[in-house]
Chains A and B, each alone.
Chain A
Amino acid sequence: MNMLLLIEQILNGLQFGVMLFLMAAGLTLIFGVMGLINLAHGSLYMIGAFAAAAVAGWTGNFLLALIASMAAAAMIGALIELSVIRRLYDRDHLEQVLATFAMILIFSEGTRWVFGSFPLFLNIPDYLKGTVTLPGGIEYSLYRLTIIGIGLAVAVGLFLLISKTRVGMRIRAGENDREMIGALGVDISVLYTLVFALGAALAGLSGALVGAIQSVEVGMGEPVLILAFVVIVIGGIGSIKGALAGAVLVGLTDTLGRTMLPVVFGSFMDPSSATTVGSALASMLIYILMAGVLIFKPTGLFGGS
């Protein structure tokens, strides 16, 4: 395996990880502040992608499409928070899982009903097509590099929002003691809607960005949702820092595993069975990683006790 390919795969893994972070950040924030496990987060990812594809189809403007993805996901997020989700905060996890599972069914079939079963396509705009030459002579896709940039910018923005602003202070206070912050005169239900809409917007953005690489279709959100769960379990629930570390770890492990393992097995097995064993093991690698973290630190890398 040559060095250039390896670096390219590392960048791919980073891009995948950054996308997972956008999903995981919302999930972990919503769990941290409201104590809610939200399976419908994958649907918000899908809604973002569909909104972006629809707006890009109308206007042809990719930037507008990205804004639309965040706006649509945030709006629907706020809507379901106000109508359904807020009834679930004081219910047990089983009921939260089932109610949000029911919402997946409604959103998936609803989207299929509106847009049909065929995948939509969201094109990468011309100014982001092609490759750039990185130091060391590596040719890498400009769009994927942009995704990494956007993801890291969002991560920094989120850190600043939570550690430096008044809203962030309230979010942190909400994580620590919900009743106390209510008693201090902060309208906690507005804060909840805000946090939920913020998480939804991040999921929607992530769906739109990935939608331009893959196809935009019903059911695209759930595999990503489950990976985001793995990320949160590895990073520790409620920790944004953990979500970032977990997401990059999962992204790199998955991408590198898929390219490296068949090669590694190929060094002592015949090629066809090396490919079989290698790819089968690669598909399980992140779950093995998760199991490993659970054995040594059941609350995740950055989780409290």
Chain B
Amino acid sequence: MFQERTLDIFVLLILVIVPASAVVTDEPFTITLATRAVIFALAGVGLNLALGQGGLVSFGHAAFFGVGGYAMGILASHAQNYTPIMETPFLIEGTNSMPVIWLVAIVSSGLVALLVGALSLRTSGVYFIMVTLAFGQMFYYFTISWPAYGGEDGLSIYVRNQFPGLNTLDPIQFFGICFALLCIVLFLVDRLNKSPFGLALNGAHQNEERALTVGINVYRLRLVAFVISGAITGLAGALFADLNRFVSPTMFSWQISGEIMIFIILGGVARLFGPVVGAALFILLEHVLGGLSDYWFIYLGVILLAVVLFAKGGIIGKLAKREAGHGQ
């Protein structure tokens, strides 16, 4: 048994050491795997804010992941073809600057989350799960049938976007960018969880009526949490698109929503580092089991089923001391 904080630092260390040693042994593929893990972790941290802290079981976070991805795809494809996105009423050009793309991804996925959240949060419980799932599918089918940005085939971006002062095509430097963003977001989410806002959100999760009675506007509170959650997942989507230099409707598919949820449950619901551990484990399983068998999803399914049925609290719940967990 460890203190949860000790475990968290240990996890971060592993996430740095693995790609760093891959640089020494010259294995860029391992660095790409680590980058994938970090980006998935970021998406999971976003969902965990709504799902773990707020108790909002969203099965539609692929929508925000995809919107972030397409924000990158649309901006970069216009920059790549030297065509403006729109000319009237004012000129908007594409860009290949990462910080600008991130900002657009965060704002646009946040806005989409505002819309989806405003409608979905009118419901609760099992309705909420189904409604968020359905809205996710709506975006999936929309991107498939809208031909302007590749439709079903998706969009390829030939050169990775630029970050001032860094060579983003070097795998370890791109990993560094993603890792730094993950750390910043983890820090901010940790602060948010401990702020009056986070406490109220958790309180409304534990007992909605009591939160209402002390005068908390639960609907607005949850909507804000949902928007922040969507925006973080959108940022992860933009990074994921940049990692692959490709966006397609697959980013919107319901399997992505399910996978983001798997990261959280594997690692531990409502634990700050739950999604980080879960995403790293998922990538590891994908790599190891995928090497053993083409049908590795069977094993993933069995492991997931076992975790849900027998290991409440996920990996962190098993390893860390009990009192460190938030109520669940």
Binding site for B on A (CB under 8 A): 31, 37, 84, 87, 93-95, 97-99, 101-106, 108-110, 112-113, 222-223, 226, 229-230, 232-233, 237, 276, 279-280, 282-284, 287, 290-291, 294-295, 298-299
Contacts and interface: CB of A to CB of B under 8 A. Distances in A.
A294 B119 contact: yes
B126 A84 contact: no
A251 to B, nearest CB: 16
Contacts of A95: 308
Contact of B133 (A108, A229, A282): A229
A155 to B, nearest CB: 22
Contact of A98 (B126, B138, B141, B262): B262
Interface stretch (B64-72, B163-171, B173-181, B299-307): B299-307
B57 interface: yes
A261 B145 CA distance: 14
5 contacts: A101-B261, A103-B301, A113-B295, A276-B147, A290-B131
Contacts of A284: 138, 141-142
B187 interface: no
B123 A298 contact: yes
A37 B308 contact: no
Most chain B beta-carbon neighbours within 10 Å: one of A101, A232, A291: A101
A102 B304 contact: yes
B309 A84 contact: yes
Nearest to A101: B258
Q: How large is the interface on B (under 10, 10 to 19, 20 to 34, 35 or more residues)?
A: 35 or more
Interface in B279-312: 295-298, 300-302, 304-305, 308-309
A110 B308 contact: no
Contacts of A237: 126-127
Given A98-B262, A110-B298, A233-B130, A283 B308 contact: no
Nearest to A87: B309
Interface of B: 51, 57, 59, 119-120, 122-123, 125-127, 129-131, 133-135, 137-138, 141-142, 144-148, 254, 258, 261-262, 265, 269, 295-298, 300-302, 304-305, 308-309
B146 to A, nearest CB: 5
Nearest to A97: B129
B261 A98 contact: yes
Contacts of B133: 226, 229
A222 B308 CA distance: 21
B295 A84 contact: no
A13 to B, nearest CB: 17
A78 to B, nearest CB: 18
A271 to B, nearest CB: 14
Nearest to B309: A87
Nearest to A27: B130
A105 B297 contact: yes
A223 B265 CA distance: 24
Most chain B beta-carbon neighbours within 10 Å: one of A110, A222, A283, A290: A283
Contacts of B138: 283-284, 287
Given A93-B126, A105-B297, A109-B301, A290 B134 contact: yes
Contacts of B147: 276
Contacts, number: 119
Given A37-B129, A276-B148, A287-B134, 14 more contacts: A37-B126, A93-B129, A94-B265, A98-B308, A101-B261, A105-B301, A109-B296, A112-B295, A226-B254, A233-B131, A283-B138, A290-B131, A291-B135, A294-B131
A282 B138 CA distance: 10
Nearest to A35: B126
B299 to A, nearest CB: 9
A24 to B, nearest CB: 11
A209 B147 CA distance: 32
Contacts of A106: 297-298, 301-302, 305
A282 B126 CA distance: 26
B122 A98 contact: no
Most chain B beta-carbon neighbours within 10 Å: one of A108, A226, A237, A279: A226
Contacts of B129: 37, 93, 97
B122 A294 contact: yes
A232 B130 contact: yes
Contacts of A110: 295, 298
Contacts of A299: 123, 127
Contacts of B308: 95, 98-99, 102
B173 to A, nearest CB: 35
Contacts of B120: 294
A233 B120 CA distance: 11
Nearest to B127: A233
Q: 10 closest Cβ contacts across the A-B interface? A: A105-B301, A287-B138, A106-B301, A102-B304, A283-B141, A229-B130, A102-B305, A109-B297, A102-B301, A109-B298
Contacts of A31: 126
A230 B134 contact: yes
Contacts of B123: 233, 294, 298-299
B297 A295 contact: no
Nearest to A277: B146
A105 B298 contact: yes
Contacts of A101: 258, 261-262, 304
Contacts of B126: 31, 37, 93, 237
